[in-house]
Amino acid sequence: MKFEKITLEKKYHDAVEHWRRHYLKDYDSLLENWEKYFPEDEPFCLCAKLELGTPETVPVGEHAGEKKRLKPDQLTEEEAKHLLAIIRAQASTEFGSIQQHSGTLERAQDDEDRFWVLRVMAEELRHGYQMFHLLLSQDWTHVSGGVKGEEMVEEILSMQTGSHVLDAFNLEYDSFVDNIVFAALIDRVGKYQLTMQKACAYKPMADSMPPMLREEAFHLAAGVIPMRRWARRAAEGSPLIHMGMIQKSINKWFPRGLEMFGDERGGESNVRMGFKDMKNRQAQDLYIEEVRRMVRDINARFLRARFPEYTPDKVDQALEELEKSRGTHRGVAFDELLRLPDRRFFRRKGEPAFSMVGFEGEEFTDVEAYLRHVADHLPEAYLASRDLKNYFEVLRQVAAGKLTVAEGIMKMPKLKRVGGNCPCSRAVRWVMEEPAAPAGGRPAA
Amino acid sequence: MPDLKTAVRIRPLDELDIGGIVRIDERISGSHRPDFWESRVMYYLRRDPQSSQVAEADGKLVGFMLGDVRAGEFGLEEPSGWIERFGIDPEFRGRDLGRAMFNAIAAHFRELGTTRIRTLAAQSDAVTGFLTRLGFQPAPLVALEMRVPGASQEKQ
């Protein structure tokens, strides 16, 4: 773990600090309590970290075996444009997740959970800072349409929940359950993206990944361990948490997590250009298996807490019986356990976008019946959201043939910045984009 | 008894290994300690996931070795790699999994620039033989202990 620490030029560093004062209000409290919750760990550093001693050659794609690129102008124009989009999207997600976490952070039942999430937020800030370093340390204007690094930074810092690049970062949290499930599911997608980008043909990007990945390991644990503890409490009969609450939050986030991999049919250019070492579907398949493993682990924790006299083998046996019979085991119903939704459930991007596939993989033909099914599986507080209302409206239009799937995707509204640089100006409003021209089929991008 | 030909994969620790570690510990010690392992795994993950390695056979955890690099303790200023906890599923013993996990950790410690690996074990402990076979030797440091003056016997 030898890495170089880099601080941004003062005006950019100050801009991130200014943003932090708006969205990470408990930052000082985190630093004051660092020793208590994270004894022996290095103090937090708001800086970019570039790993030293990483591979010098491109491992995949049409440049495999060649020396990794050190500057954007060593990439072709197409490659540089593509990479710039990846960096901007990555930066947007880092800042976006902090905004999401901040809304419900104070509702944590346990101080330890709260401080774990606070550390996650601080480290996401550092990851955003890392991406800013990539945007600012080189000139990208030849592929950004003349937009300078500082303008890109300004744009990203002015984004709010609703205007980020990826959908998962445009949903508000309904409760602290979302903070935890998000860390377990959405940060896990982040782990896959960062792992794939370790191969990146642009060396500063590849060198940024190992320090981020080490921090991401903590983020995943900050999601999974509270979920394990909640499963225990639920099994012991706590009235404050039950498995249904966790399940509904999984149903909200898992589809958005799948969409973060990009369309299932895509990812070819990332591999060809040497920016990632897996295509979208391949990475998504591995992710699904990993989440399945997580769900099984939490279910096992639940059953063991309910039946403390069981051996680990007996817990496995009970779990298998329940999965097979879908009935009950000594009073525990199959429905009390966590389950993974079908990968096509509640999707609005990618191959199954706007298909009406239910939680169990069952297909619906009646749109209203499907919408009731989706609503039954989501957290109650989320039902009242604008995001869901718009999804429902667009799905009705797609089902009625009034919109193609591609148009449906375009119809999903986003918050857009309409002026002002400071996030406190709240200079955004809801904007519904009209498709430029009718498009057939589903997008492959 | 598992098939001895089952391929075993050595990889860094992750947060989904907690259940498997709890299971192995329970098989060895007879105690079910999920809370303890949740807390310990979180510690090792936030320090450095690659300093801890696990062995996996057919997707099931069959061994773990948890380590860390620290400096400044006991007057040891140089960063040292510490091997602190390990366990092998009794059904998978005798397959050199401990050595395989140790080799992966030692390689990582080397990358980090550490030159010493340290651990503590009871002299009568069966693991001392395993550690000796790995190359550990008695250190010039002596482990000392005493009862806290005034502490009751029951709390020992």
Minimal-distance CA residue of chain B relative to A1: B112
Select the residue of A217, A224, A312 nearest B49 (Cβ to Cβ). Answer: A217
In a domain? residue A311: no
Q: Is B112 on the interface with A (CB under 8 A)?
A: yes
Within this chain, do residues A355 and A422 fall inside the same structural domain, yes or no?
yes
Interchain CB distance below 8 Å, B48 and A214: yes
CATH number at residue A204: 1.10.620.20
Interchain CB distance below 8 Å, A1 and B48: yes
Within this chain, do residues A277 and A346 fall inside the same structural domain, yes or no?
no
pLDDT of residue B5: 61
In a domain? residue A221: yes
Q: Is A165 on the interface with B (CB under 8 A)?
A: no
pLDDT of residue A167: 73
| Cβ atoms A295, A338 nearer than 8 A | yes
Instruction: Give the Cβ contact number of residue A127 at 10 Å.
Output: 26
Phi, psi of B65 (to 5 degrees): -145, 120
In a domain? residue B3: no
**C-alpha angle A268/A269/A270, rounded to 5°?**
95
Interchain CB distance below 8 Å, B22 and A312: yes
pLDDT of residue A336: 96
Interchain CB distance below 8 Å, B34 and A232: yes
CA distance B138 to chain A (A): 27
pLDDT of residue A424: 45
Local structure of A404: helix, strand or coil: coil
In a domain? residue B32: yes
In a domain? residue B1: no
Q: Is A221 on the interface with B (CB under 8 A)?
A: yes
Question: Which range is least confidently modeled, A35-39, A382-386, B76-80?
Answer: B76-80
Within this chain, do residues A233 and A353 fall inside the same structural domain, yes or no?
no
Select the residue of B26, B34, B45 nearest A301 (Cβ to Cβ). Answer: B34
CATH number at residue B34: 3.40.630.30
Q: Of B21, B40, B46, B80, which to mutate for an interface test with A (greatest number of A Cβ within 10 Å)?
A: B46
Q: Could you give the number of structural domains in chain B?
A: 1
Within this chain, do residues A44 and A131 fall inside the same structural domain, yes or no?
yes
* Domain final residue, candidates A272, A299, A326: A299
Q: Is A232 on the interface with B (CB under 8 A)?
A: yes
- The whole-angstrom separation of Cα A302 and Cα A234 is 7
Within this chain, do residues A58 and A120 fall inside the same structural domain, yes or no?
yes
| Cβ atoms A196, A277 nearer than 8 A | yes
**C-alpha angle A87/A249/A122, rounded to 5°?**
40
In a domain? residue A76: yes
Full domain range(s) for residue B20: 8-155
Question: Which range is least confidently modeled, A243-257, A420-434, B126-140?
Answer: A420-434
Q: Is A110 on the interface with B (CB under 8 A)?
A: no
Full domain range(s) for residue A384: 342-445
Interchain CB distance below 8 Å, A293 and B38: no
Minimal-distance CA residue of chain B relative to A213: B49
Average pLDDT over residues A414-428: 44
Within this chain, do residues A226 and A354 fall inside the same structural domain, yes or no?
no
Phi, psi of A313 (to 5 degrees): -65, -40
Within this chain, do residues A259 and A200 fall inside the same structural domain, yes or no?
yes
**Band (A426; pLDDT cuts 50, 70, 90):** very low
Local structure of A146: helix, strand or coil: coil
Within this chain, do residues A357 and A283 fall inside the same structural domain, yes or no?
no
CA distance B155 to chain A (A): 25
The predicted-structure confidence for A260-290, as pLDDT tens digits, reads as follows 999 999 999 999 999 999 999 999 999 999 9
In a domain? residue A381: yes
Say if the ipTM goes beyond 0.95: no
Q: Could you give the number of structural domains in chain A?
A: 2
Within this chain, do residues A132 and A54 fall inside the same structural domain, yes or no?
yes
In a domain? residue A314: no
Within this chain, do residues A281 and A410 fall inside the same structural domain, yes or no?
no
Q: Select from A368, A352, A357, A349 the least CA-distant residue to A408.
A: A349
Question: Which position has the token pair 């507080």?
Answer: A381
Within this chain, do residues A294 and A346 fall inside the same structural domain, yes or no?
no
Within this chain, do residues A407 and A353 fall inside the same structural domain, yes or no?
yes
| Cβ atoms A403, A145 nearer than 8 A | no
Kindly give, in sequence order, each residue whose CB lies less than 8 Å from that of residue A225, ignoring residues fewer than 6 positions away: B15, B18, B38, B41, B42
Q: Is B70 on the interface with A (CB under 8 A)?
A: yes
| Cβ atoms A186, A257 nearer than 8 A | yes
Average pLDDT over residues B112-123: 90
Minimal-distance CA residue of chain B relative to A312: B23
Helix, strand, coil shares of chain B as percentages rounded to 5? Answer: 40, 20, 40
Q: Of B13, B16, B48, which to mutate for an interface test with A (greatest number of A Cβ within 10 Å)?
A: B16
